Structure 1
Amino acid sequence: MKLQTVEMLKKRRSYYALDKNIKSSEEDIKNAIRDVVYYSPTPFNVQSERAVVLMGENHDYLWKNIVMETLRSIVNDEEKFKSTEEKINGFKSGYGTILIFEDGKALEEAKSGLGSYGSNLDLWSEHANGIVTIGLWTALGELGLGANLQHYNPVIDDEVKEKWNIPREWILKSQMVFGNILQEPKEKSKVDIDKRVLFK
Protein backbone atom coordinates (compact mmCIF):
# COMPACT_ATOMS: atom_id res chain seq x y z
CA MET A 1 0.00 0.00 0.00
CA LYS A 2 1.40 3.38 -1.02
CA LEU A 3 0.82 6.00 1.67
CA GLN A 4 0.56 9.66 0.66
CA THR A 5 2.09 10.60 4.02
CA VAL A 6 5.25 8.65 3.20
CA GLU A 7 5.39 10.05 -0.33
CA MET A 8 5.30 13.59 1.08
CA LEU A 9 8.02 12.77 3.63
CA LYS A 10 10.20 11.46 0.80
CA LYS A 11 9.87 14.82 -0.95
CA ARG A 12 10.71 16.79 2.19
CA ARG A 13 14.30 17.91 1.77
CA SER A 14 16.39 20.95 2.64
CA TYR A 15 16.10 23.08 -0.49
CA TYR A 16 18.59 25.94 -0.56
CA ALA A 17 18.40 26.98 -4.22
CA LEU A 18 15.14 28.96 -4.11
CA ASP A 19 13.64 32.01 -5.75
CA LYS A 20 10.45 34.06 -5.57
CA ASN A 21 8.74 32.68 -8.71
CA ILE A 22 6.25 30.47 -6.88
CA LYS A 23 3.36 28.75 -8.64
CA SER A 24 1.11 28.52 -5.56
CA SER A 25 -1.06 31.42 -4.45
CA GLU A 26 -0.35 33.32 -1.25
CA GLU A 27 -3.85 32.41 -0.08
CA ASP A 28 -3.11 28.69 -0.43
CA ILE A 29 0.14 29.16 1.49
CA LYS A 30 -1.58 31.08 4.28
CA ASN A 31 -4.38 28.52 4.56
CA ALA A 32 -1.91 25.62 4.69
CA ILE A 33 0.10 27.29 7.48
CA ARG A 34 -3.03 28.11 9.47
CA ASP A 35 -4.32 24.53 9.15
CA VAL A 36 -1.02 22.92 10.15
CA VAL A 37 -0.72 25.05 13.30
CA TYR A 38 -4.43 24.64 14.12
CA TYR A 39 -4.60 20.86 13.76
CA SER A 40 -1.19 19.87 15.14
CA PRO A 41 -1.41 18.19 18.57
CA THR A 42 0.07 19.81 21.68
CA PRO A 43 0.63 18.43 25.21
CA PHE A 44 -2.50 18.81 27.35
CA ASN A 45 -3.95 20.89 24.51
CA VAL A 46 -1.79 23.86 25.55
CA GLN A 47 -1.70 25.15 21.94
CA SER A 48 1.43 27.20 22.60
CA GLU A 49 2.89 26.96 19.09
CA ARG A 50 2.96 30.27 17.22
CA ALA A 51 3.94 31.27 13.69
CA VAL A 52 4.66 34.64 12.11
CA VAL A 53 4.77 34.51 8.31
CA LEU A 54 6.93 37.05 6.51
CA MET A 55 6.52 37.60 2.77
CA GLY A 56 7.51 40.31 0.32
CA GLU A 57 9.38 43.25 1.86
CA ASN A 58 9.16 41.77 5.37
CA HIS A 59 10.89 38.55 4.28
CA ASP A 60 13.63 40.56 2.55
CA TYR A 61 14.04 42.83 5.56
CA LEU A 62 14.55 39.88 7.90
CA TRP A 63 17.48 38.52 5.92
CA LYS A 64 19.01 41.72 4.55
CA ASN A 65 18.62 44.06 7.50
CA ILE A 66 18.35 41.89 10.60
CA VAL A 67 20.17 38.60 10.04
CA MET A 68 22.82 39.96 7.66
CA GLU A 69 23.71 43.02 9.71
CA THR A 70 23.59 41.17 13.04
CA LEU A 71 26.06 38.58 11.77
CA ARG A 72 28.21 41.22 10.08
CA SER A 73 28.63 42.99 13.42
CA ILE A 74 29.61 39.71 15.08
CA VAL A 75 32.13 38.62 12.43
CA ASN A 76 33.49 42.17 11.94
CA ASP A 77 35.75 41.11 9.05
CA GLU A 78 34.51 41.74 5.50
CA GLU A 79 36.78 39.15 3.90
CA LYS A 80 35.74 36.38 6.28
CA PHE A 81 32.12 37.50 5.97
CA LYS A 82 31.82 36.89 2.21
CA SER A 83 30.71 33.24 2.49
CA THR A 84 28.17 34.16 5.18
CA GLU A 85 26.87 37.02 3.03
CA GLU A 86 26.37 34.64 0.12
CA LYS A 87 24.46 32.19 2.32
CA ILE A 88 22.16 34.87 3.76
CA ASN A 89 21.47 36.28 0.28
CA GLY A 90 20.42 32.76 -0.68
CA PHE A 91 17.77 32.79 2.05
CA LYS A 92 16.66 36.27 0.99
CA SER A 93 16.16 34.93 -2.55
CA GLY A 94 13.32 32.76 -1.25
CA TYR A 95 9.70 33.86 -1.26
CA GLY A 96 8.97 33.92 2.45
CA THR A 97 9.93 32.90 5.97
CA ILE A 98 7.88 31.30 8.71
CA LEU A 99 9.13 32.37 12.13
CA ILE A 100 8.24 29.48 14.46
CA PHE A 101 7.70 30.45 18.10
CA GLU A 102 6.67 28.96 21.43
CA ASP A 103 4.44 31.08 23.66
CA GLY A 104 6.35 30.99 26.94
CA LYS A 105 3.50 32.63 28.84
CA ALA A 106 1.01 29.96 27.74
CA LEU A 107 3.45 27.25 28.85
CA GLU A 108 4.00 28.76 32.27
CA GLU A 109 0.27 29.20 32.85
CA ALA A 110 -0.35 25.58 31.86
CA LYS A 111 2.37 24.28 34.18
CA SER A 112 0.64 25.70 37.25
CA GLY A 113 -2.40 23.50 36.69
CA LEU A 114 -0.61 20.27 35.84
CA GLY A 115 0.88 19.31 39.21
CA SER A 116 3.81 16.89 38.85
CA TYR A 117 3.36 16.79 35.07
CA GLY A 118 4.19 20.49 34.83
CA SER A 119 7.94 19.93 35.07
CA ASN A 120 7.82 17.90 31.84
CA LEU A 121 5.92 20.48 29.81
CA ASP A 122 9.02 22.21 28.41
CA LEU A 123 10.25 18.92 26.97
CA TRP A 124 6.83 17.96 25.62
CA SER A 125 6.42 21.38 24.04
CA GLU A 126 9.60 20.70 22.05
CA HIS A 127 7.85 17.61 20.67
CA ALA A 128 4.91 19.79 19.66
CA ASN A 129 7.28 22.26 18.02
CA GLY A 130 8.79 19.43 15.99
CA ILE A 131 5.34 18.25 14.93
CA VAL A 132 4.38 21.72 13.71
CA THR A 133 7.72 22.09 11.94
CA ILE A 134 7.48 18.85 9.98
CA GLY A 135 3.83 19.59 9.25
CA LEU A 136 4.71 22.98 7.76
CA TRP A 137 7.61 21.52 5.79
CA THR A 138 5.54 18.77 4.20
CA ALA A 139 2.54 21.06 3.54
CA LEU A 140 4.78 23.51 1.69
CA GLY A 141 6.15 20.58 -0.29
CA GLU A 142 2.64 19.53 -1.25
CA LEU A 143 2.15 23.05 -2.63
CA GLY A 144 5.24 22.54 -4.80
CA LEU A 145 7.48 24.73 -2.64
CA GLY A 146 10.93 23.97 -1.28
CA ALA A 147 12.00 24.91 2.24
CA ASN A 148 14.95 24.90 4.61
CA LEU A 149 15.13 25.38 8.37
CA GLN A 150 17.44 27.93 9.99
CA HIS A 151 18.31 28.81 13.60
CA TYR A 152 19.63 32.36 13.88
CA ASN A 153 17.94 32.74 17.24
CA PRO A 154 18.69 34.00 19.83
CA VAL A 155 20.95 36.70 18.32
CA ILE A 156 18.13 38.12 16.16
CA ASP A 157 15.29 37.70 18.67
CA ASP A 158 15.04 41.20 20.13
CA GLU A 159 15.16 42.98 16.78
CA VAL A 160 12.64 40.59 15.23
CA LYS A 161 10.19 41.13 18.09
CA GLU A 162 10.59 44.90 17.95
CA LYS A 163 10.24 45.11 14.16
CA TRP A 164 7.03 43.07 13.94
CA ASN A 165 5.54 43.83 17.37
CA ILE A 166 5.78 40.26 18.61
CA PRO A 167 5.04 39.57 22.31
CA ARG A 168 8.16 39.39 24.48
CA GLU A 169 6.97 36.07 25.94
CA TRP A 170 7.16 34.32 22.58
CA ILE A 171 10.33 32.25 22.20
CA LEU A 172 11.78 32.10 18.70
CA LYS A 173 12.64 28.49 17.83
CA SER A 174 13.48 28.53 14.12
CA GLN A 175 13.09 30.23 10.77
CA MET A 176 11.70 28.25 7.83
CA VAL A 177 12.58 29.76 4.46
CA PHE A 178 10.42 28.73 1.50
CA GLY A 179 10.19 29.45 -2.20
CA ASN A 180 10.25 28.12 -5.74
CA ILE A 181 12.65 25.21 -6.21
CA LEU A 182 15.54 25.94 -8.59
CA GLN A 183 17.63 22.85 -7.95
CA GLU A 184 17.17 19.46 -6.33
CA PRO A 185 19.49 18.71 -3.39
CA LYS A 186 21.96 15.83 -3.53
CA GLU A 187 20.82 12.48 -2.21
CA LYS A 188 21.84 11.72 1.38
CA SER A 189 23.07 8.40 2.67
CA LYS A 190 20.71 6.53 4.96
CA VAL A 191 21.45 4.17 7.84
CA ASP A 192 19.95 0.70 7.35
CA ILE A 193 16.35 1.06 8.57
CA ASP A 194 16.49 -2.36 10.26
CA LYS A 195 19.09 -0.92 12.63
CA ARG A 196 16.77 1.94 13.51
CA VAL A 197 13.37 0.24 13.71
CA LEU A 198 12.99 -3.02 15.59
CA PHE A 199 9.93 -5.29 15.62
CA LYS A 200 9.54 -7.61 18.62
Structure 2
Amino acid sequence: MSSPINADTLLELVKNRRTYYPLSKELPISNERVQEIVKTALQHVPSSFNSQSNRVVVLFGAEHEKLWDFTTEVLKTIVPAESWESTGGRMAMFKAAAGSVLFYEDEAVVKGMQEKFAIYADNFPIWAHHSVAMLQHTVWMALEAEGLGANLQHYNPLADAKIAEEWKIPATWKLTAQLVFGGKTGPAGDKTFVPVEDIFKAYGA
Protein backbone atom coordinates (compact mmCIF):
# COMPACT_ATOMS: atom_id res chain seq x y z
CA MET A 1 0.00 0.00 0.00
CA SER A 2 1.37 3.43 -0.92
CA SER A 3 1.96 6.04 1.76
CA PRO A 4 -0.89 8.53 2.27
CA ILE A 5 -0.48 11.88 0.54
CA ASN A 6 -0.94 15.01 2.59
CA ALA A 7 -0.11 18.71 2.31
CA ASP A 8 3.46 18.13 3.46
CA THR A 9 4.06 15.93 0.42
CA LEU A 10 3.07 18.75 -1.93
CA LEU A 11 4.83 21.44 0.09
CA GLU A 12 8.05 19.46 0.02
CA LEU A 13 7.87 19.47 -3.79
CA VAL A 14 7.21 23.21 -3.74
CA LYS A 15 10.25 23.80 -1.53
CA ASN A 16 12.50 21.53 -3.59
CA ARG A 17 11.67 23.17 -6.91
CA ARG A 18 14.60 25.38 -7.83
CA THR A 19 16.14 27.05 -10.87
CA TYR A 20 19.13 25.14 -12.27
CA TYR A 21 21.76 26.53 -14.66
CA PRO A 22 23.41 25.01 -16.64
CA LEU A 23 21.92 21.66 -17.62
CA SER A 24 23.10 18.56 -19.46
CA LYS A 25 21.50 16.30 -22.05
CA GLU A 26 21.57 13.32 -19.68
CA LEU A 27 18.10 12.71 -18.26
CA PRO A 28 17.35 10.43 -15.28
CA ILE A 29 14.04 9.45 -16.92
CA SER A 30 12.92 8.62 -20.45
CA ASN A 31 11.53 11.08 -22.98
CA GLU A 32 8.28 9.12 -22.78
CA ARG A 33 8.08 9.75 -19.05
CA VAL A 34 8.61 13.48 -19.59
CA GLN A 35 5.74 13.49 -22.06
CA GLU A 36 3.52 11.55 -19.66
CA ILE A 37 4.18 14.10 -16.91
CA VAL A 38 3.44 17.06 -19.16
CA LYS A 39 0.27 15.53 -20.63
CA THR A 40 -1.09 14.64 -17.19
CA ALA A 41 -0.44 18.14 -15.88
CA LEU A 42 -1.99 19.65 -19.00
CA GLN A 43 -5.18 17.69 -18.51
CA HIS A 44 -5.58 18.23 -14.77
CA VAL A 45 -4.44 21.79 -14.03
CA PRO A 46 -7.57 23.90 -13.46
CA SER A 47 -8.85 26.60 -15.79
CA SER A 48 -11.69 29.09 -15.43
CA PHE A 49 -15.06 27.64 -16.45
CA ASN A 50 -13.08 24.53 -17.43
CA SER A 51 -12.13 26.43 -20.57
CA GLN A 52 -8.93 24.39 -21.05
CA SER A 53 -7.06 27.10 -22.95
CA ASN A 54 -3.57 25.72 -22.23
CA ARG A 55 -1.50 24.17 -25.02
CA VAL A 56 1.99 22.62 -24.87
CA VAL A 57 4.76 21.63 -27.27
CA VAL A 58 7.71 19.57 -25.97
CA LEU A 59 10.99 19.61 -27.89
CA PHE A 60 13.76 17.07 -27.37
CA GLY A 61 17.30 16.76 -28.70
CA ALA A 62 17.90 18.34 -32.10
CA GLU A 63 14.42 19.88 -32.13
CA HIS A 64 15.16 21.58 -28.81
CA GLU A 65 18.46 22.85 -30.20
CA LYS A 66 16.62 24.40 -33.16
CA LEU A 67 14.54 26.46 -30.75
CA TRP A 68 17.59 28.10 -29.25
CA ASP A 69 19.26 28.50 -32.65
CA PHE A 70 16.18 30.42 -33.84
CA THR A 71 16.21 32.57 -30.70
CA THR A 72 19.94 33.21 -31.09
CA GLU A 73 19.49 34.31 -34.71
CA VAL A 74 16.89 36.89 -33.71
CA LEU A 75 18.86 38.14 -30.73
CA LYS A 76 21.95 38.70 -32.88
CA THR A 77 19.99 41.28 -34.83
CA ILE A 78 19.02 43.33 -31.78
CA VAL A 79 21.72 42.84 -29.13
CA PRO A 80 24.69 45.25 -29.40
CA ALA A 81 27.93 43.52 -30.41
CA GLU A 82 29.64 44.61 -27.21
CA SER A 83 26.94 42.80 -25.18
CA TRP A 84 26.77 39.65 -27.28
CA GLU A 85 29.26 37.54 -25.35
CA SER A 86 26.97 37.31 -22.32
CA THR A 87 23.82 36.80 -24.37
CA GLY A 88 25.45 34.24 -26.64
CA GLY A 89 26.69 32.33 -23.62
CA ARG A 90 23.16 32.09 -22.24
CA MET A 91 21.84 30.82 -25.56
CA ALA A 92 24.57 28.17 -25.70
CA MET A 93 23.72 27.16 -22.13
CA PHE A 94 20.04 26.67 -22.96
CA LYS A 95 20.89 24.77 -26.14
CA ALA A 96 23.14 22.40 -24.17
CA ALA A 97 20.15 21.17 -22.14
CA ALA A 98 18.06 18.13 -23.08
CA GLY A 99 14.78 19.76 -24.04
CA SER A 100 12.27 22.57 -23.74
CA VAL A 101 8.58 22.72 -22.86
CA LEU A 102 6.78 25.50 -24.73
CA PHE A 103 3.68 26.78 -22.96
CA TYR A 104 0.90 28.35 -24.99
CA GLU A 105 -2.55 29.87 -24.49
CA ASP A 106 -5.13 29.26 -27.22
CA GLU A 107 -6.55 32.72 -27.82
CA ALA A 108 -9.45 31.25 -29.79
CA VAL A 109 -10.63 29.52 -26.62
CA VAL A 110 -10.26 32.72 -24.60
CA LYS A 111 -12.17 34.71 -27.21
CA GLY A 112 -14.91 32.08 -27.31
CA MET A 113 -15.33 32.29 -23.54
CA GLN A 114 -15.47 36.09 -23.74
CA GLU A 115 -18.27 35.87 -26.28
CA LYS A 116 -20.16 33.20 -24.37
CA PHE A 117 -19.87 34.91 -21.00
CA ALA A 118 -19.70 38.58 -21.96
CA ILE A 119 -20.15 39.79 -18.39
CA TYR A 120 -16.71 38.33 -17.55
CA ALA A 121 -15.05 39.22 -20.87
CA ASP A 122 -12.30 41.36 -19.36
CA ASN A 123 -11.34 38.64 -16.93
CA PHE A 124 -10.87 35.67 -19.26
CA PRO A 125 -7.39 36.70 -20.50
CA ILE A 126 -6.31 37.16 -16.88
CA TRP A 127 -7.78 33.82 -15.87
CA ALA A 128 -6.03 32.14 -18.81
CA HIS A 129 -2.72 33.60 -17.56
CA HIS A 130 -3.46 32.15 -14.12
CA SER A 131 -4.08 28.71 -15.58
CA VAL A 132 -0.93 28.58 -17.72
CA ALA A 133 1.09 29.80 -14.75
CA MET A 134 -0.27 26.94 -12.65
CA LEU A 135 0.61 24.54 -15.47
CA GLN A 136 4.16 25.86 -15.67
CA HIS A 137 4.66 25.44 -11.94
CA THR A 138 3.10 21.99 -11.86
CA VAL A 139 5.27 20.69 -14.72
CA TRP A 140 8.36 22.25 -13.16
CA MET A 141 7.68 20.63 -9.78
CA ALA A 142 6.94 17.26 -11.37
CA LEU A 143 10.15 17.26 -13.39
CA GLU A 144 12.08 18.28 -10.28
CA ALA A 145 10.48 15.38 -8.41
CA GLU A 146 11.86 13.02 -11.08
CA GLY A 147 15.39 14.37 -10.62
CA LEU A 148 15.55 16.81 -13.54
CA GLY A 149 16.76 20.38 -13.37
CA ALA A 150 14.94 23.21 -15.14
CA ASN A 151 14.77 26.96 -15.64
CA LEU A 152 11.88 29.06 -16.96
CA GLN A 153 12.55 31.53 -19.78
CA HIS A 154 10.47 34.19 -21.57
CA TYR A 155 12.08 34.86 -24.94
CA ASN A 156 8.73 35.16 -26.65
CA PRO A 157 7.77 36.80 -28.93
CA LEU A 158 11.26 37.10 -30.47
CA ALA A 159 11.20 33.88 -32.46
CA ASP A 160 7.48 33.12 -32.32
CA ALA A 161 6.96 33.33 -36.09
CA LYS A 162 9.87 31.02 -36.85
CA ILE A 163 8.77 28.58 -34.14
CA ALA A 164 5.22 28.55 -35.48
CA GLU A 165 6.48 27.88 -39.00
CA GLU A 166 8.87 25.12 -37.97
CA TRP A 167 6.50 23.15 -35.74
CA LYS A 168 3.20 24.05 -37.40
CA ILE A 169 1.82 25.92 -34.40
CA PRO A 170 -1.80 27.09 -34.91
CA ALA A 171 -2.13 30.84 -35.38
CA THR A 172 -4.34 31.17 -32.31
CA TRP A 173 -1.73 29.70 -29.95
CA LYS A 174 0.17 32.42 -28.08
CA LEU A 175 3.55 31.46 -26.60
CA THR A 176 3.93 32.46 -22.94
CA ALA A 177 7.12 30.76 -21.66
CA GLN A 178 9.81 28.17 -22.30
CA LEU A 179 10.84 25.67 -19.61
CA VAL A 180 14.35 24.41 -20.35
CA PHE A 181 15.05 21.02 -18.77
CA GLY A 182 17.92 18.58 -18.50
CA GLY A 183 20.25 16.77 -16.15
CA LYS A 184 21.53 18.69 -13.14
CA THR A 185 25.19 19.62 -13.42
CA GLY A 186 25.55 21.23 -10.00
CA PRO A 187 23.62 22.71 -7.09
CA ALA A 188 21.02 25.44 -7.48
CA GLY A 189 21.96 28.93 -6.42
CA ASP A 190 21.14 30.36 -3.02
CA LYS A 191 17.52 31.25 -2.39
CA THR A 192 16.58 34.16 -0.16
CA PHE A 193 13.24 35.05 1.39
CA VAL A 194 11.59 38.23 2.56
CA PRO A 195 10.28 38.00 6.15
CA VAL A 196 7.01 36.08 6.08
CA GLU A 197 5.46 38.50 8.58
CA ASP A 198 5.80 41.22 5.91
CA ILE A 199 3.83 39.30 3.28
CA PHE A 200 1.25 37.24 5.19
CA LYS A 201 -1.83 38.17 7.20
CA ALA A 202 -4.46 36.01 8.92
CA TYR A 203 -7.62 37.01 10.75
CA GLY A 204 -10.09 35.11 12.89
CA ALA A 205 -7.73 32.20 13.59
Normalised TM-score (structure 2): 0.93
Could you tell me how far 1:188 is from its partner in structure 2? 1.8
**Equivalent residues in 2 for 1:36-75 (5 A)?**
36-64=41-69, 66-75=70-79
Once the two structures are TM-superposed, the CA of residue 194 in structure 1 deviates from its matched residue by 2.2
CA distance in 2, matches of 1:59, 1:196: 38
1:195 aligns with 2:193: no
Alignment partners' CA distance in 2, 1:2 and 1:100? 27
1:168 equivalenced with 2:156 (yes/no): no
Deviations 1:37-60 (A, max 9, x none): 100000011100000000011001
Q: SS of the counterpart of 2:57?
A: strand
Mapping of 1:22-171 within 5 angstroms? Answer: 22-64=27-69, 66-75=70-79, 77=81, 79-171=82-174
> What secondary structure does 2:102 align onto?
strand
Contact 2:98–2:182, Cα closer than 8 Å, also in 1: yes
In 1, Cα distance between equivalents of 2:23 and 2:36: 21
Report the CA distance between 1:2 and its aligned residue: 6.9
- C-alpha separation in 2, matches of 1:161 and 1:76: 26
* Amino acid corresponding to residue 74 of structure 1 in structure 2: I
Secondary structure, aligned partner of 1:30: helix
1:67-114 CA-partner distances (Å, limit 9, x unpaired) = 11110111252x421111111110011110001000001110111111
- 1:155: how far off? 1.3
* Identical residues among aligned pairs (%): 34
Distance 1:76 1:191 in 2: 35
Q: Distance in 2 between matches of 1:62 and 1:49?
A: 20
Q: Tell me the distance in 2 between the aligned counterparts of 1:115 and 1:151.
A: 30
The residue that corresponds to 2:184 in the other structure is: 181
Cα distance in 2 between the residues matched to 1:185 and 1:61: 26
Distance 2:188 2:145 in 1: 17
Residue 17 of structure 1 is matched in structure 2 by 22
Structure 2 counterpart of 1:121, one-letter code? F
Q: Which runs of 5+ in 2 are unaligned?
A: 1-5
